[in-house]
Structure 1
Amino acid sequence: MIGAYAVGRYRLPSADEMRRVIVAEQQYYTGHMVPSARHTQQVDYFLYEHDMRVREIPAGAERARLSGPPPWARVAETDRPVGVTQ
């Protein structure tokens, strides 16, 4: 995902959207866990990974498609990966 972001194929959501999602997902992913003074696993990895793979990564790719790459990525519309078909 970092590589896709660096070359303009993934775009982050707005700051307001990220804040909203952080609050909602913190409850979703950790609400069922018992509070403890000891370090515990904070996220169910399999649920989180599945959500990233099927929801957030495609959504970020769609945001990049609609908005284009961020200006700092220095990616032109004509840039195409070599040997990769889309």
Structure 2
Amino acid sequence: MDQIVTDEYGRKLRLINPVDLSSAPNDFQLSRASKPVRRYFSLLGNSLLMIFLVQAFSFQIFGILEFEPLYIIGCSFVTLPCL
């Protein structure tokens, strides 16, 4: 049977009795097998790619501010795949 309680602010709260859970199937699996080496190299590759792109964007902005056409053209080719 449900129980009704009142908190310190005068709100009425209904407490529901817990229901027992059924057992899980024998072939139930929460996730796939973990491959930590693959995840590590994926994270490392993505991090290096982002560092490279951030550096290219910053050199492109530097080239725009300093009117250096070689910086602008070179970094535009590097950052073109981001479009």
**TM-score (norm: length of structure 1):** 0.27
Please give the TM-score of this superposition, normalised by the length of structure 2.
Answer: 0.27
Query: Whose radius of gyration is greater, 1 or 2?
Result: 2
Q: Which has the bigger relative contact order, CA under 8 A and spacing at least 6?
A: 1
Greater strand share, 1 or 2?
2
